[in-house]
Structure 1
Amino acid sequence: MDADPGGGSSTPLSWANVGLAFSFIVFDGIISVTFGLGVGSGLVTAAVRCIIQLSVVALILQKVFEAENPLAVAGIAFLLNFMGTIETVVNKSKKRYNHMFPSVLIGMLGSTIPVSIIGVRYAMVVEPFWQPEQYIPIVGMLCGGAISGIVVSVTYVLKELHDNKDKVEMYLAFGASRFEACKPIAKEALRLALTPNINQMSVLGIIAIPGMMTGAILGGSSVEQAARLQMVIMFMISSCTALSSIVTTCLALAVVVDNEHRVRSDRIDARPHAVWRARSWLVERITEHLKHATHRAWKKARPMFKRADSSYRSVDSPLEDRTDRERLLPGGR
């Protein structure tokens, strides 16, 4: 392996290397099929999405890095938050509430942008803070942490208010305000949202070496600097996750429990998202059209098969017909 002067690896990776790594996913899929886990298709789909998304991002970011335009950096930061909101609302949430999309978008933008600006400018000492090579990867990691926290917290809140709303209604019936009635749910939702970050930080360094530190070491940075960089990033991710979870949890509770201290279950939608309902409808329509087309084609082709079958029998079975007639005659065998 060739090494550059900074100590990082300069060996280019080809699609053959990616294909070799993809064999690990195939191995996981085989395990899923063998044990009947039912996650094989999900693994393959996620891996294909990963390939497509990272390929597109690589093309876009290469142009942004070369341009070094703050407006382009701001556009990419907003796009990451916008796509993260779509992923959260459409794919990750089994239940949704009214105006969930703008609520989640506000929660993500209100956490990732301030934390990234303050962290990159002052904790990482990058001037200007919007340098694409530094700022965009940080915003991407913060969006990933925010998505995880929002999904966990909002899922728990909606589950409690939809499936176990009797407890909240009991508090409200005894005169508690909606803040007092929903406080236990909010506390538990935030605790669940922050637990993965706490567990991750507790094992870093001793048990696990995180990806950002590994990338910095492979890029030629000293191990000490890479470790400090990872500390800064983990603290930023943790604060971003907490802030986004708090904002979205409060907004969700404010929508589902109204100003008149009533639990509005009608504002919770437990159906699949409209995107998936539209896809299911489209698949059903296509399937119906294919069935009708196949049925019409069979009705047109069926007489041809009947004529071919009758002509085949008239040519190939005269002896059998004559034998049958002889058996019907008197004295026939």
Structure 2
Amino acid sequence: MDDVPGAPSNDLSWGNVGLAFSFILFDDICSRTFGLGVDSSLVTAAVRCVVQLSLVALVLQKVFEANNPWAVAGIAFLLNLMGTTETVVNKAKRRYDHMFPSVLVAMLGSTIPVSIIGIRFAMSVDPFWKPEQYIPVVGMLCGATISGVVVAINYILKEIYENKDKVEMYLAFGATRLEACKPIATDALRLALTPNINQMSVLGIIAIPGMMTGAILGGASVQQAARLQMVIMFMISSCTALSSIVTTIFALSVVVDQDHRVRTDRIDVRPHAVYRARNWAVERVVGGLKVVGSRIAGAFGGKKDDGESRENERLLG
């Protein structure tokens, strides 16, 4: 590895990771100093990053060594499943009925075909399922897809829930649900694709992206690394667009039914059930601890009172 141009001269240890973690601590101090309120989120995200990447490294090492297409397919499905969970549970501010399966279908229907076609033909990898090629690409596609899907869904549900009068007015004048929801869908898709467009417009001049940097550190020529980054960015753009379109159609078909009625009752504005269950469990545990503490305090207090009463009786006697 030391002979590869541009590669790190030494292997990285946990000490290096710990040193880099000081950057997160600096962000934490800034947040506390200026009252930004993101200090706990920063530390939590950093810890999640360490744990998740450590687990992924262990799993991927086994998959790379096995070189089994079914193992690669399982990892690809798992990445999409975890991406769907992150979208529905953590990222979405509002949810609609049957959101989880619809988002999962949208992600699988975009990341899998785009990755297969892109890796096999655009990247000229044969077979396309080589673990060291396919899994990292699917991971990048899932990460980019989550952002687009979240932006689209949050905008659609916000508009339908808070400004449903606009849609109902179109419906009252005889518009179909497709015609009434078209402006919302157009704006949602535009917002979902804007970050990807902005990112592509600054690559190479202002920013050197991660895939290109990784390829250069891995020993590839700068020209090959640049072309690889172009292919990846175009795949991400297509994947984001496809998944955003599918989720937009699913969401609008649920919140505006076949009878052309706006169904805000199908939009859940509460925290996700996972967080509600967590809060309930925490309240139960805290309540139980308070009860136990009060009983212990009462027991000790009772003994003290009994001792004082006996001492008073002795003095009076």
Q: Give the structure-1-normalised TM-score.
A: 0.91
Q: Return the offset for 1:148.
A: 0.2
* SS at structure 2 position matched to 1:208: coil
Does the 8 A contact of 2:4 with 2:218 survive in 1? Answer: no
Deviations 1:117-150 (A, max 9, x none): 0000000000000000000000000000110000
Counterpart of 2:287?
288
C-alpha root-mean-square deviation of aligned residues, in Å?
1.7
The residue correspondences of 1:109-124 to structure 2 (distance < 5 A) are: 109-124=108-123
Q: Return the offset for 1:7.
A: 5.1
The residue correspondences of 1:132-143 to structure 2 (distance < 5 A) are: 132-143=131-142
Shift in alpha-carbon separation, 1:190–1:312, aligned structure 2, 3 A: farther
Deviations 1:128-175 (A, max 9, x none): 000000000000000001100000000000001111100000000000
5+ residue gaps in structure 2? none
Query: Which amino acid in 2 is paired with 1:17?
Result: N
Rounded to whole Å, the distance in 2 between the matches of 1:271 and 1:178 is 26
Does the 8 A contact of 2:5 with 2:217 survive in 1? Answer: no
Deviations 1:238-269 (A, max 9, x none): 11000000000000001110001000111100
Shift in alpha-carbon separation, 1:291–1:204, aligned structure 2, 3 A: same
Does the 8 A contact of 1:107 with 1:247 survive in 2? Answer: yes
Rounded to whole Å, the distance in 2 between the matches of 1:253 and 1:10 is 53
> Which moves more between the two structures, 39-48 or 6-15?
6-15
Does the 8 A contact of 1:9 with 1:219 survive in 2? Answer: no
Counterpart of 1:36?
35
The residue correspondences of 1:1-333 to structure 2 (distance < 5 A) are: 3-5=2-4, 8-306=7-305
Q: Return the offset for 1:11.
A: 1.5
**Higher radius of gyration, 1 or 2:** 1
Rounded to whole Å, the distance in 1 between the matches of 2:12 and 2:2 is 14
Rounded to whole Å, the distance in 1 between the matches of 2:15 and 2:74 is 33
Rounded to whole Å, the distance in 2 between the matches of 1:309 and 1:191 is 77
Shift in alpha-carbon separation, 1:311–1:214, aligned structure 2, 3 A: farther
Q: Return the offset for 1:310.
A: 7.5
* SS at structure 2 position matched to 1:11: coil
Does the 8 A contact of 1:129 with 1:135 survive in 2? Answer: yes
Q: Return the offset for 1:94.
A: 1.2
Rounded to whole Å, the distance in 2 between the matches of 1:280 and 1:219 is 45
Q: Return the offset for 1:9.
A: 2.7
Query: Which amino acid in 1 is paired with 2:49?
Result: C
Q: Return the offset for 1:307.
A: 5.6
Query: Which amino acid in 1 is paired with 2:139?
Result: G
> Which moves more between the two structures, 117-126 or 296-305?
296-305
Rounded to whole Å, the distance in 1 between the matches of 2:310 and 2:214 is 76
Count the aligned residue pairs. 315
5+ residue gaps in structure 1? 319-333
Does the 8 A contact of 2:106 with 2:246 survive in 1? Answer: yes
Shift in alpha-carbon separation, 1:308–1:20, aligned structure 2, 3 A: farther
Rounded to whole Å, the distance in 2 between the matches of 1:204 and 1:217 is 15
Rounded to whole Å, the distance in 2 between the matches of 1:163 and 1:7 is 53
Q: Return the offset for 1:5.
A: 4.3
Q: Return the offset for 1:311.
A: 8.8
Rounded to whole Å, the distance in 1 between the matches of 2:44 and 2:197 is 29
Deviations 1:80-136 (A, max 9, x none): 000000000000011000000000000000000000000000000000000000000
Q: Give the structure-2-normalised TM-score.
A: 0.96
Deviations 1:62-96 (A, max 9, x none): 00000000000000000000000000000001100
Query: Which amino acid in 2 is paired with 1:81?
Result: N
Does the 8 A contact of 1:150 with 1:193 survive in 2? Answer: yes
